[in-house]
Structure 1
Amino acid sequence: MTAGTTTEVTAGASGNAYDRLRAEAAAGRIEEVVVAVPDLQGRLMGSRLSVPYFLEEAARQGFGACVYLLASDVEMDTGPGYAIDAWNSGFGDFVLRPDPATLRTCLPWDDGTALVLADAVWPDGEPVAVAPRRVLRAQLDKLAERGLAAYAGTELEFLVFGESYREAWERRYTGLRPATRYNVDYSLQGLEGIEPVVRRIRREMVRAGLAMETARAECHPGQYEIVFRYAEAMATCDNHVFFKNGAKQIAAAEGAALTFMPKFDEGEGNSCHIHLSLRGTDGSAVLADAGAGDGMSELMRHFVAGQLACLPDFALLMAPNVNSYKRLQPGAFAPTGITWGRDNRTCPVRVVGSGPSLRIEHRVPGGDANPYLAVAAAVAAGLYGIEHRLPLPAPHTANALADASVPRLPTTLAEALHRWETSEIAAEVFGEQVVAHYAQAARTELSAFERAVTDWERMRGFERL
């Protein structure tokens, strides 16, 4: 299929969004539109379209893009084993169908540009089942069948360095200068090296339409966290990938570099804690029960129990890379066991809030997590607990990181891959195609790592072995 062969997009609610784009273009403020799809890593991939072409063609019919975008690793390498076999299918196209609800006509760091996210569909209009947005949508649809809706918030940490991305690349990402010199967790001083970059990120994200809640420096030198307002789960994930993409562009414009990788060095890692709650489609707070001693409804108890039951099998969707498991190690203030607690940050599942704000905080995902997949995993686990009426064990009240009796999370990507592709639960709730596709993504990551020779190996063995 070529870019000119498209499928019709229903008008629906697109009118107001695209009318706004048309008005901005007529006023000379928008010259082109980026149509982007989140890939397996949660990165935005796509093309720049002229406004007339977008409005006259792509907004109605979609836009063709190569299928390998959803079947490649971080290096953009593809191969056999994925559910989408780009090589054997001739590197054809699927269709990127713009979602008008995601249109942003203000990108302060990219003047004259609008951006819209798209769903990948086949030429016959069938959704691409393994696309991250589709994986999440399938779980949200299952919630809707029960009269439920998911709301989420993500808390992303990142490290800022004084070098540009080009300088960092040429140094092979070694010997970089963190933008703060020491632990500045919650500090209001010592931030002069980082504040110009993060101030611009904060302000321009708000101008772009994100609702910021809090921002502060973190433990690792150069580490920072910006938290945006919770929203319906899909919208939160869309905001998440938009933020990561834009933050890197802003850092580059400032001559700096930032990374979301879970574990840059032996210091504190970058997390992506996910706050998740359910409501009735009528807006009711279904997780809370004022009459219960712990304030939790029976539905919430099953929902939390499902997280614990599925966590070992679904870990791959929350920790998808080799580096993910460097963060999930003892002594790193990241989860290592499978348990839950009330306001207990040493547990992977922390129950926090009360009444309408009652929710879980999932502390396993790191900064590399694809938000669509991580939230889909948490929603699917909760649904599994609800459907099977799983009982909830007593909360962990002590330090779960130091308790050897707590069942352990997978400690490597290889272990998580084995749990994922042999899981009857994963096959039941996600389908065999999705399981196989993301198993291949993990195998590709492992294969690349196992072929690599690291600096650690050279330092250890060059002279002394």
Structure 2
Amino acid sequence: MGTRNDRHLTMDELVARIRRGDVDTVVVAFTDMQGRLQGKRLHGRFFVDHVVGHGTEGCNYLLAVDVDMNTVDGYAISSWEKGYGDMEFVLDEDTIRLLTHHPATAMVQCDLVWPDHSPVVQSPRTILKEQLERVHGHGWTALAGTELEFIAFDTSYEEAYRLGYRDLTPVNQYNVDYSILGTSRTEPLLRDIRNHMYAAGLDVEGAKGECNFGQHEIGFLYNDALTTADNHAVYKNGAKEIAAQRGQSITFLAKYNQREGSSCHIHLSLRGQDGSLVFWDADKGERTPLYDQFVAGVLATAADFTLLYAPNINSYKRFADGSFAPTTIAWGLDNRTCALRLVGRGAGARMENRIPGADVNPYLALAAMLAGGLHGIEHELPLEDELVGNAYHSGKPQVPTTMSAARERFATSEVTRAALGDEVVDHYVNMADVELAAYRAAVTDWELQRGFERL
């Protein structure tokens, strides 16, 4: 059995490394609703003797908590009344990789099943795999790339907590967009991340500065959609760990301050299972009708799926006119003011979704894009004319501006329920309800500064 590339390991190779003593720790992890890696660190010999071929288990509350890991009401799969039983972690041997920023450590990513071996349909990885099965049923495969921005600080996570996440020291004190000098200032951190992620099996393209102070992006080569989502989760976790080891910190908040937010532009295309082009007619040198239908479907369902593109309260602060974050549901050719930007020709023809921020769960966002695109193909939706010029001032329909509005569209959409199923939709509607309730109950520093003395 082959591996995804020459840096991934087969199970036999991992077991051999453990027996030789080269690996003594195995991280067994899945990606939760919030896009975080959750799981266990297992001793290597225990992994070999008791987990290989069997998997392991974890409490089902891991898919029914808020970001603070508090148990909350409203989830059908997990509650005090149901006793908070276990889910099983099924090892995906395609994902075995070394984590060279930790000594003698490897990782295996997992799917989740119930004790009767039926899939946990609410698991983000399962949700994406379901949409990929639909794509496969048409004879296609999905290729994707995620462009994930972050802001890095010369402040440790512990000190950032003590400071209330205010007055941190960014690694750059000015706009370093494309600046070689500016990125040189933080190259030790960026180089560590690039090299450790390459060793973990990710195909690194490069790094560049961005607009906000201390904001950077490390790019990775596109891959099949599941591999891209798996790698995204590993990179996001690994970048934070590497920064922490250096006494620094990284945030993937969509909007850290009133300057530019951090995006996660997602590039997506379809190919035939034989590698043939689906989105481009080579003879005519133009987009195929199927490509146009796919884009039309993503446009038509953009508001329905915004909750999966913008899954947190903070996500909606990023949508601001003139910020390079989209506010308008429209498409354009190489137009960065639109929600959907079409770029490339031939094998490089692809759609870029500019709605997601850096806080996005890649499995859910890719699943939403595929579900929307398939809706367009299966209903042969016509593609509206491209938007030429400034989408911010076009008068076109707007991306939902609050989590509450996105929650309503997601909950009541026939498309979301047809594509994902009621169990999945209801689960993530409850996730939104939990966050909205917590936000409504919070007293913010903005309110205190505005009103403590003057009101």
- 1:265-313 deviation digits (Å, cap 9, x = unpaired): 00000000000010011111111013447x1101101000001110010
Indicate whether 1:163 and 2:147 are aligned.
Answer: no
Q: Which amino acid aligns with 2:54?
A: Q
Superposition pairs of residues 66-465 of structure 1, within 5 angstroms: 66-104=59-97, 106-292=98-284, 295-403=286-394, 405-465=395-455
Determine the C-alpha separation between the residues in 2 that align with 1:84 and 1:326. Answer: 31
Distance 1:375 1:84, change over 3 A: same
Secondary structure at the counterpart of residue 42 of structure 2: strand
Amino acid at match of 2:25: E
User: Which amino acid counterpart does residue 125 of structure 2 have in structure 1?
Assistant: R
| Deviation at residue 240 of structure 1 after TM alignment | 0.1
CA distance in 1, matches of 2:76, 2:173: 46
Is residue 79–residue 85 contact of structure 1 (8 Å, CA) maintained in 2? Answer: no
Check conservation: 1:59, 1:97, Cα contact below 8 A. no
- CA shift for structure 1 position 397: 1.2
Q: Quick check: 210-219 or 237-246, which moved more?
A: 210-219
Q: How far is 1:60 from its partner?
A: 1.1
Asked if 1:37 corresponds to 2:39, the answer is: no
- Output the amino acid matched with 2:270: L
- Is the Cα–Cα contact under 8 Å of residues 328 and 335 in structure 1 kept in the other structure? yes
CA distance in 2, matches of 1:284, 1:192: 41
* Partner SS state of residue 29, structure 1: coil
In 2, distance between residues paired with 1:229 and 1:16?
20
TM-score (norm 1): 0.95
Question: Which residue of 34, 40, 47 corresponds with 1:54?
Answer: 47
- Structure 1 residue 82, shift from structure 2 partner: 1.6
Give the Cα separation in 2 of the matches to 1:432 and 1:230. 31
Report the Cα offset of residue 55 of structure 1.
2.4
TM-score between both structures, scaled by the size of structure 2: 0.97
| Bigger Cα displacement from structure 2, 43-52 vs 138-147 | 43-52
Question: What SS is found at the alignment partner of 2:135?
Answer: helix
Residues 211-250 of structure 1 show CA distances to partners (whole Å, capped at 9, x for unaligned) of 1112101111100000101101000000000000100000
State the one-letter code of the partner of 2:416.
A
Distance 1:353 1:16 in 2: 33
Confirm or deny: 8 A CA contact 2:263 2:358 kept in the other structure: yes
Tell me the distance in 2 between the aligned counterparts of 1:53 and 1:348.
48
Contact 2:128 2:363 survives alignment (8 Å): yes
Distance 1:79 1:114 in 2: 33
Contact 1:62 1:98 in 2 (8 A): yes
Paired residue total: 452
Q: Which AA in structure 2 matches 1:75? A: D
Q: Which amino acid aligns with 2:325?
A: A
8 Å contact from structure 1 (residues 179, 194) kept in 2:
yes
Q: Which amino acid is the alignment partner of residue 412 of structure 1?
A: T
Secondary structure (helix, strand or coil) at the match of 2:281 reads coil
User: 1:190 Cα shift?
Assistant: 2.9
Structure 2: 5+ residue stretches without partners: none
- Note the C-alpha offset of 1:100: 0.4
More displaced stretch, 131-140 vs 182-191: 182-191
Q: 2: CA distance between counterparts of 1:79 and 1:169?
A: 24
Amino acid aligned to 2:83: G
> Equivalent residues in 2 for 1:4-23 (5 A)?
17-23=10-16
Q: What is the alpha-carbon distance in structure 2 between the residues aligned to residue 70 and residue 167 of structure 1?
A: 30
Q: What residue identity is the alignment partner of 1:27?
A: R
- Worse-matched range after superposition: 448-457 or 53-62: 53-62
1:8 maps to none
Aligned Cα RMSD in Å? 1.6
Match of 1:7 in 2: none
Deviations 1:177-205 (A, max 9, x none): 11001011000113354222112111211
Is the contact between residue 66 and residue 94 of structure 1 (CA under 8 Å) also seen in structure 2? yes
Identity %: 50
Moved more, 136-145 or 18-27: 18-27
Instruction: Give the residue type in structure 2 aligned to 1:379.
Output: L
Deviations 1:321-356 (A, max 9, x none): 000000012232200011101111111111111011
Q: 1:207 to 1:341 in 2, by over 3 A?
A: same
Q: State the AA in 1 paired with 2:105.
A: T
Q: Distance in 2 between matches of 1:99 and 1:208?
A: 15
Compute the displacement of 1:374 (Å).
0.3
**Partner residue of 1:26 out of 9, 19, 40:** 19
Q: In the aligned structure 1, how far is the partner of 2:442 from the partner of 2:417?
A: 32
